[in-house]
Amino acid sequence: MSDNPTGSITSGVCLSPGSHRTTCLDESRTKQEFVEETEINSLLQRWERTGKLEHLADGTPQYGDFSNVDDYCSARLQVAAAEESFLGLPAKLRSRFDNDPGKLLEFLEKPENVQEAVELGIITDPAAPAPEAVEAPPLAPEPAPGE
């Protein structure tokens, strides 16, 4: 083996045999203009001055009633079932909503879209009379074992 390690642009890490030193001979893709804003001591000094970690996203918290969601797994299963139902719709109907289940849900949430949804065959007409319930005949009792 050679004592001169070679670098790899894909991994960025090159270990020389028998050494803990890393050497990379490839051109660096690190942008040096961000050294000051990414250096840990600079980040901590700014935090001490302002009390805020600026590198975190400034997203607005979202609040809601999520009590009907049991856990993460159940929520993912509900999303998967909804996506599967959406994919079961005809392609022309899915394209009407840009192949986005969220756009279909937005459409269905608006009361002014009920008639169009009925015409598209997505829902049944809420004004139509409900079909009459048909009673099933009673089941015959199963014979006891040994009879």
- Summarised one tens digit per residue, pLDDT across range 72-101 is 888 888 888 888 888 888 888 899 999 998
pTM: 0.42
Q: Are 68 and 74 contacting, i.e. CB atoms less than 8 angstroms apart? A: no
What pLDDT score does 12 carry?
Answer: 53
What pLDDT score does 17 carry?
Answer: 57
% the chain with pLDDT above 70: 72
Q: Residue 147: pLDDT above 70?
A: no
Domain, as residue range, for 115: 88-125
Q: Is 77 part of any domain? A: no
Q: Is 118 part of any domain? A: yes
Q: Is 133 part of any domain? A: no
- Dist. CA 14–CA 8, nearest whole Å: 7
Number of domains in the chain: 2
